Structure 1
Amino acid sequence: MRYKKLGKTGLSVSIIGFGAWGIGGGAYGPVDDDVSAEALLTAYEKGINFFDTADVYGDGHSEEMIGKALHHVRNSVALATKVGTFPHFGFDMPQDFSPNHIRSSIEHSLRRLRTDHIDLYQLHSPPGELLRQSDRIAETLGAMEALKKEGKVRHTGISTRSPEDGLFAARDLGVEVVQVNFNLIDHRAIENGLLTFCEKAGVGVIARTPFAFGFLTGKYSQGARFYPPDHRSNWPQEQIDCWAEAPHRFASLNADSRRTMSQLALLFCTAHDVVSTAIPGIMKSSEALENISAAALPPLTKEEILRISEIYQRNTFYVGRKSPSSGNSHSQKREAGDNENTASHTLHTALEG
């Protein structure tokens, strides 16, 4: 495993982290606590030291699983969790980012994680409107800062709904860390300059959805069906089929190697120096081992990264959005990041752990 500093926080994090939404409950299909515990321990033993969860994942069960499995190695891991979103099914997210809720929630998270401090405490997909309302966001960030002064939180950040919100948070709010969607089929963090800005400013970047909700693993085919409580059952079949077909567009990149699609997806994220860690969802030890092995593979060449960019430019992977090369890039970014009424925006900003 390789490690990077997370922005200016001083935290040294594994370039492959552990996304813990799936182990909280049925959001990614059936889950078994014993299997989850084994996956957590395997990940730690093989070099993963960054574990990302949220109080809403399984209504706290994900945090409980991490606390139970890793409390004996607490000083050797970096724990990241999130606050502000309540349990829900669908894309309408009940939320509360008030200082009172933040102060109450941190106590519950600390108890479930069996720790006296959180290494990275993040606002969980706050609306873009909140980020841009100076008085309200100042109160919210002030509450987060107070937790730092009390020693309950070491560092703070925002897991943003879109790269546009991520850029605003990094540039205008001065956050330490942003967590954003970034993967083979979603380059918006490159297109809008977020990665470039964060690299220059020393803002930490966490790449979530590196597998695009599991579809970039190549394990799903067109016609795949999902059922509640799997959150992918919310999406139209047309979008599911589009994502299921996406790995075939990149298959030529693995033709002369033994890389899996999952490993290619992770290598793409970690090829960008400013990305400190990518956090694929992990539910089994076998998944942890496959992901971890990507860190030992040769990095992507400049030629491979260029080919990925060309494939991305020529194709569309979100229903309702044109391919990046087919029109005005500025209007496309607004469609993907700002238009609250488009299906593509809803799908882009869906949560991922």
Structure 2
Amino acid sequence: MATIRLGKSDLHINPIGLGANAVGGHNLYPNLNEETGRDVVRTALDLGVNFLDTAFIYGPGRSEELIGEVLKEKGRAKAVLATKGAHKFVDGKVVMDNSPAFLQQSVEDSLRRLQTDYIDLFYIHFPDEQTPKAEAVGALQRLKEQGKIRAIGVSNFSIDQLKEANVNGYVDVLQSEYNLFARDAEKELLPYCEANGISFVPYFPLASGLLGGKYTKDTTFRDLRANNPRFQGEAFARNLDKVDRLRPIASQKNVEVAHVVLAWYLKQPAIDALIPGAKKPEQVKENLKTLDVQLTDAEVEEISSIFK
């Protein structure tokens, strides 16, 4: 399976990774089965999906622990492991901390939970309001020089925060929201990443399932989507009409709408990798069908124009 280089780093990954927030993310998804989560990670590794994306806040901590158990069993060298830190609990509330001392402790804690002596890619998960971004990234650079991490990422940073964080050229990866319904990153973030050798990894690539092609106008929601304007009334109907316009392309290529959408992202400048999630092992196999989709330039432009 062909691999790509992540940013300016020496990490080489399968462009279809695994977003592991449903592996042990009990605070995000109710009634998760941990052995199923382990099987999701095992299946990913067996199929050559080597880019695993997790975070402290998934669990909290439990996702890292489960992945660490599987890597102990399968072999650490099989994975390019990404995790994130910034969240901490103060008097029962979650706050963000990007201070060098906290980031260093976060890396040490993640190493312990993951049962490894190095993390391939460590992200600052969210910016805080007080720490200078170059100072925070500088702390990660020192950890990189010590061999505890191999590459540096930031997540949910604005363009100004990203520029400040990357003042010394240390940032390898930016993770941020981006999908066909949420394209603000095209204005400044994606061009900056392309110009500075930073890989952009989008999250919510299927817009909470809206771009998966599985919903109809009669679908109702009882979770956070119920309060999202994108999933309500006439806006929901219009959005589904846009998704329906992708079905001929998917049918012609004998894949699902979701595969066409994911393949479109990989055609965008600076987007080198995707991290679709999976709650079941068979979903990992489904995600990999994206690599079989070859979009023409005309199809890329057609999809872009549908969602302008």
| Aligned with 2:152 (options 135, 156, 168) | 156
Cross-structure match for 2:126: 125
1:272 — aligned with what?
268
Corresponding residue of 2:8: 8
Cα shift at 1:75: 0.9
CA contact (8 A) 1:2 1:295 kept: no
Tell me which amino acid in the other structure corresponds to 1:184: L
| 1:290 Cα deviation after fit | 0.7
**8 Å CA contact retained: 1:9, 1:155:** yes
Partner of 2:163: 168
Measured against aligned partners, the alpha-carbon deviations of 1:233-277 in whole angstroms (never above 9, x if no partner) come to 6x6153433568635413222314222122122111111252111
Is the Cα–Cα contact under 8 Å of residues 199 and 271 in structure 2 kept in the other structure?
yes
Structure 1 residues 81-109: Cα deviation after superposition (integer angstroms, max 9, x where no partner): 00102479xxx952111122112221211
Where 2:245 maps in the other structure, the secondary structure is helix
Tell me if structure 1 keeps the 8 A contact 2:21–2:54. Answer: yes
SS of structure 1 residue aligned to 2:273: strand
The separation in 1 between residues aligned to 2:185 and 2:81, in whole angstroms, is: 24
- Asked if the contact 1:85–1:94 (Cα under 8 Å) also holds between the matched residues in 2, the reply is yes
Shift in Å at residue 217 of structure 1?
1.7
> Which residue type is aligned with residue 150 of structure 2?
R
Structure-2 separation of matches of 1:207 and 1:10:
20
Query: In 1, distance between residues paired with 2:239 and 2:16?
Result: 22
Q: Give distance in 2, aligned partners of 1:100 and 1:237.
A: 37
Q: Secondary structure at the match of 2:272?
A: strand
Counterpart in the other structure of 1:226: 222
Per the alignment, residue 106 of structure 2 pairs with 105
Asked whether the 8 Å contact 2:190–2:269 carries over to 1, the reply is no
Which residue of 2 is the match for residue 318 of structure 1?
none
Name the structure where helix makes up a greater proportion of residues.
1
The 1-side partners of 2:257 and 2:160 are apart by 29
What are the superposed Cα offsets for residues 164-212 of structure 1, whole Å, 9 maximum, x if unpaired?
35753576463221112222222222222x3233223211221222112
Three-state SS of the structure 2 residue aligned to 1:180 is: strand
Q: Following superposition of structure 1 onto structure 2, how do residues 80-91 of structure 1 map, counting pairs within 5 Å?
A: 80-86=82-88
Task: Give 3-state SS (helix, strand or coil) of 2:38's partner.
Answer: helix
Q: C-alpha separation between the residues in 2 aligned to 1:248 and 1:190? A: 23
Q: Can you list the C-alpha shifts for 1:87-142, whole angstroms capped at 9, x where unaligned?
A: 79xxx952111122112221211111111000001100214x55xx6xx3233222
- Cα distance in 1 for residues equivalent to 2:293 and 2:199: 24
Q: Does 1:141 align with 2:137?
A: yes
One-letter amino acid of the counterpart of residue 76, structure 1: K
Contact 2:230 2:239 in 1 (8 A): no
- SS of the equivalent of 1:144 reads helix
Aligned-CA RMSD value: 2.5
CA distance in 1, matches of 2:162, 2:104: 26
Question: Of residues 185, 191, 204 in structure 1, which corresponds to 2:187?
Answer: 191
1:296 maps onto 2:287 in alignment = no
Q: Do residues 240 (structure 1) and 236 (structure 2) align?
A: no
What amino acid sits opposite 1:94 in the alignment?
A: V
Question: Unaligned stretches of 5+ in structure 2?
Answer: none
Does the Cα contact within 8 Å between 1:80 and 1:119 map onto a contact in 2?
Answer: yes
Q: Distance in 1 between matches of 2:33 and 2:86?
A: 26
Partner amino acid for 2:45?
A: Y
Aligned residues of 1:4 and 1:15 also touching (Cα < 8 A)? yes
Could you tell me the percent identity over the aligned residues?
34
Q: Which moved more, 1:255-264 or 1:169-178?
A: 169-178
**Residue 243 to residue 140, structure 1, CA distance change in 2 (3 Å):** farther
Partner in structure 2 of residue 210 of structure 1:
205
User: What is the rounded CA distance, in whole Å, between the counterparts of 1:244 and 1:83 in structure 2?
Assistant: 38
Deviation at 1:12?
A: 0.6
The residue that corresponds to 1:317 in the other structure is none
Q: Which amino acid aligns with 2:13?
A: V
Matched, 1:307 2:302: yes
Question: Structure 1 pair 115/267, CA: closer, same or farther in 2 (3 Å)?
Answer: same
CA distance in 2, matches of 1:167, 1:142: 13
SS at match of 2:143: helix
Q: TM-score, normalised by structure 1?
A: 0.76
- Give 1:213 shift: 2.4
1:322 corresponding residue in structure 2: none
Q: Which amino acid aligns with 1:3?
A: T
Deviation at 1:16, TM superposition (A): 0.7
